[in-house]
Amino acid sequence: MRIAIVGAGLGGLTLARVLHLHGLDAVVYEREESRTARGQGGMLDLHPDTGQRALHEAGLEAGFRALARREGQDMKLLDHTGTLLVRHDTPEDAPMERPEIDRTDLRDLLLDSLPGPAEGFPEGIVEWGREFTHATPLAGDGPGGPGGPDGPGGPDGHGGHLLHFADGSTVECDLLVGADGARSRVRPLLTDAEPRHTGVNSVDCGRIPDADRTRPDLAATVGRGNYWGIGDSQTVAAQRNGDGSIHVGISLRTPEDWFDTCGLTFEDPDRARAGLRNLLEAHGWAPPFTTLVEACEGPVVPRPIQALPIGLTWAVTPGVTLLGDAAHLMPPVGEGANLAMLDGAELALALAASPGDPGAALRGYETAMFERSETAARESEAVHTTLLSPTGAQDMAAFFQREAEHA
C-alpha cells in the first residue's frame, strides 16, 4: 500500500514512525525546504494518555525523557496587577506527569527515528520542499471507474489519488493522510468545513534569549516554567524554554479584523512591541508584564485564533483521512499537539492491524478520533472562554485550587 502523508508536523511524523515500526513505510511530503526552515514554537507539555502514549507506541519514550524538563511543570498565575494567585513548584523527585519539551527537540526526535537516504529511500521518508496543492481521484481499474467494484474506490475500501505539487510534479498513492494543519489542502476531499475565528487574536511577541545572563531579573520573575497573567479579556503568557530563552505571547478578545485596525506595524518588531506595551499599560497591566514584552527580540507574529466546528465528522471515504489540526482544530490550550500525535499512532496501529482492509482501518480510527476530539474541543473551548473572560483570573485560580484539593 502506497501511503502518502502531507505535512511533517508532530502528528504526521508520529504516523510515519509507528507505520515504519510495523513494516508499513510511507512518504511524508513537506513544503518547507528543511527541518530548520522555520521555527517550531516554544515548549509543550505531553500528557500521559495522549502524547506520551503515542511516543510509547513509537518506541521513543527514553529519548523523550532525556529531553523533557520536569521543572517545566512549574507555574505561576497572576492577575494583571501582578498579584500572585497560584504558584506550583515542581519537586525534583516529582513524577513526569506532564513534562515540557521544546517542540523543535520533539520534532527532531521523530525525524531522527525515520529512515534516511542511506536506508533504501532515495530522499528519505520525508521529502522536503514538496508543496502539495490538491489531489484528484485515480480512475479505477474495474468497470465502474473510481466507484467500480474492482477499482480503488470500490466497496473493498481501497481508494487512490493523484497528488499534485506546486512544482508541477505528481505522485500516485493508495492512501492519502492530511496532516497539514489548520489550512489543510487535503480536508476539502472530505468536508467543506472551514476554520472560524473564535473572537480571540494572539500575538507572538518574540523571545528573550539566554535570559539568566541577559535579563536575570526577568528570568527570576518567570521562573523555570510557565508565567501567566490574566486580565479583563486579555492574557500575557511567558514560558521558559529548554535553551534558556523566555517566549512571550499576548492574547486578546477582539474583533476578527483587529490586526487590520489596531494601528500596530508588525513588520517593524520593535515598534510593534512598543505599541503592545502601550496597549497593556492603557489597560492597567503591571510593569513585570510590559517589561517582558518590551525585552523580547525577533519577529512579532500576529496569530488569529481559529477553530473547526466542534463535533466535525465526515463519511468514511476510501483512500483519504485526516489527523491533528486538519481534522479538529481547536483553541490552543495544550491539547492540539497531544491529540495529533495520538491520532498518528492510532491510525498507524489500525492500518497495521488490517493491512488487507484499509477501509475497516479508517472506520475504526475515525470513529475513535471523532469521539475524543469532540470531547477535547468542548473542554478547550471552555478553558479558552474562561481565560479570556472579564473574571478569568479568579476563575482560573479557583480551577487550580479545585485541582489541588482533588490531587
What would the pLDDT profile of 247-273 be if each residue is shown by its tens digit? 999 999 999 999 999 999 999 999 999
Task: Name the residue among 386, 220, 341, 188 with its Cα closest to residue 288.
Answer: 220
Q: Identify the three-state secondary structure at position 405.
A: helix
Residue 120: which pLDDT band, with cuts at 50, 70 and 90? Answer: low
- Residues annotated as binding site for NADPH? 38
> Does residue 73 surpass a pLDDT of 60?
yes
> Does residue 15 surpass a pLDDT of 50?
yes
Q: Convert 85-121 to b/e letters by CB count within 10 Å (16 or more is b).
A: bbeeebeeeeeeebbbbbbbbbbbbbbebbeeeeeee
Q: Which residue has the cell 469532540?
A: 374
Mean pLDDT of the chain: 90
Read off the pLDDT of residues 343-352 as tens digits, 9 standing for 90 and up. 999 999 999 9
- Residues annotated as binding site for FAD? 45, 103, 325
- 221 contact partners, CB below 8 Å, separation of at least 6: 227, 288, 292
Q: Identify the three-state secondary structure at position 205.
A: strand
Q: Where would I find the beta strands (DSSP E) of 103-174?
A: 126-127, 132-137, 161-165, 170-173
Residue 102 host element (H or E): strand 100-102
Number of Cβ within 10 Å of residue 404's Cβ equals 10
- Residues annotated as binding site? 38, 45, 103, 325
Strand order in the sheet with 126-127: 126-127, 26-29, 3-6, 175-178, 320-322
> Does residue 156 surpass a pLDDT of 50?
no
Give the mean model confidence (pLDDT) for residues 194-206.
96
Per the model's pLDDT, the better-predicted residue between 118 and 399 turns out to be: 399
Number of Cβ within 10 Å of residue 193's Cβ equals 14
Please give the model's pTM, rounded to 2 decimal places: 0.91
